[in-house]
Amino acid sequence: DPTNPDTDGDGMNDGWEDHYGLRLIDEETGDMEWIVKIDPTSNDDAYRDPDGDVVETRWSLVRWLWIDPGTGVPEPPGDATPNDPVSVGFNLHEFIMNTNPIEADTDNDSYPIGAGTTNDFDEIIFHGTDPTDEDSDGDEMWDGWEIYYQLQANNASDRFGDEDEDRLVNYQEFLQDTHPHKNDTDDDLMWDGWEVEYGLQPKNPNDANNDPDEDLLFNWQEFFNNTNPRDPDTDRDFLSDYQEIVVGWYVSIDGKSYHYFTDPNNPDSDQDDVYDDEDGDGNYDPNEEILDGIDNDGDSVILQNNGIDDDGDGVVDDGRPGIPAVGLPEGVDEECDFNDYN
């Protein structure tokens, strides 16, 4: 009836029934066939359930059935739990709530995708979220994802939280599909935020052993040393990260050999205003800086290259255990006791 918005008087307007009815034309008779049983000319379809969400416990919202007349808030039975079978979820209810009668999850916001964890019934009755909007609080994180990871789907303020302290806020975790409560989603010993910062893959554990900058350091080694996995010389001091972290420097003084390492994040490890590789030739020759006549360790005593008694204490600087020498760079095992003397 073009003069009546609800021709069959079943409480659902004709346009809505026609839209979701998915009618087909019978080629033999020319009649319309409503393949999901929603027919604007039949009033017995109001209590049909074409999306099967009563049988599969995926009904689509009958908020008004359980509304408390005093508070206006839906109050389900005390023993009801998510996914419980219910005897409701019919077309009329879907129409009233503006949900899709042929889809159990109208806004398709379940996580994992397709799991049905935020079907229309659960969103209205248990989560209080909008079944027609995948992002009820407008924080650009889907309701299903927030509910799955126990965030607040009705509170936009958690968008910038960082519960796992991995340098990715929740919104960034959503975009990367990483775990907001676990700082290393793929268990590859590198934090998610660090991997994202340097263009690695926070959900692929295999990239831990890659070496994109070809400096002979794996990505996990770069992470532990806080160096740039895409730059072979993080501090730009003309010494590669590998030279500073793994190779180090061997220094021979008075016949004693010392081995120490420079800081790959600081071009001037001993802070004497001279770059670790003083002349920029890529050669970590100890004579370039250690014996350059500068007080490298800041103790007001300059190390002389004669190697006799540099601190004037009457004891030759021979590196015997328990007798520290002075003027050596920070990080040198001056007492030969396997402990750095700083």
Give domain limits for the chain: 235-342
For 98, left (φ over 0), alpha (ψ -120 to 50), or beta? left
- CA torsion, points 146, 149, 155, 160, in degrees to nearest 10? -100
pLDDT in 10s for each residue of the chain, 342 residues:
676 766 656 555 666 556 555 443 344 544 443 334 444 555 554 445 554 443 222 333 344 445 555 665 556 555 555 444 343 445 545 555 666 666 778 888 888 887 778 887 778 777 888 888 999 999 999 999 999 999 999 999 999 999 999 999 999 999 999 999 999 999 999 999 999 999 999 999 999 999 999 999 999 999 999 999 999 999 888 889 999 899 887 878 788 888 878 888 887 766 655 556 554 455 544 444 444 445 554 545 444 444 445 555 554 454 444 444 444 444 444 444 444 443
Which token pair is 149? 């990871």
In 135-291, alpha helices (H): 143-148, 170-176, 192-197, 219-224, 241-242
Q: Is 210 exposed, middle or buried (0-12, 13-18, 19+ CB in 10 A)?
A: middle
- DSSP states along 117-149: TT-HHHIIIII---TT-S-TTSSSS-HHHHHHT
Longest dimension (CA), the chain: 118
CB neighbourhood size of 221 (10 A)? 20
- 29 CB-contact burial (10 Å; exposed 0-12 / middle 13-18 / buried 19+): exposed
* Dist CA 36 CA 259 (whole Å): 79
Number of other residues whose CB lies within 10 A of the CB of residue 97: 18
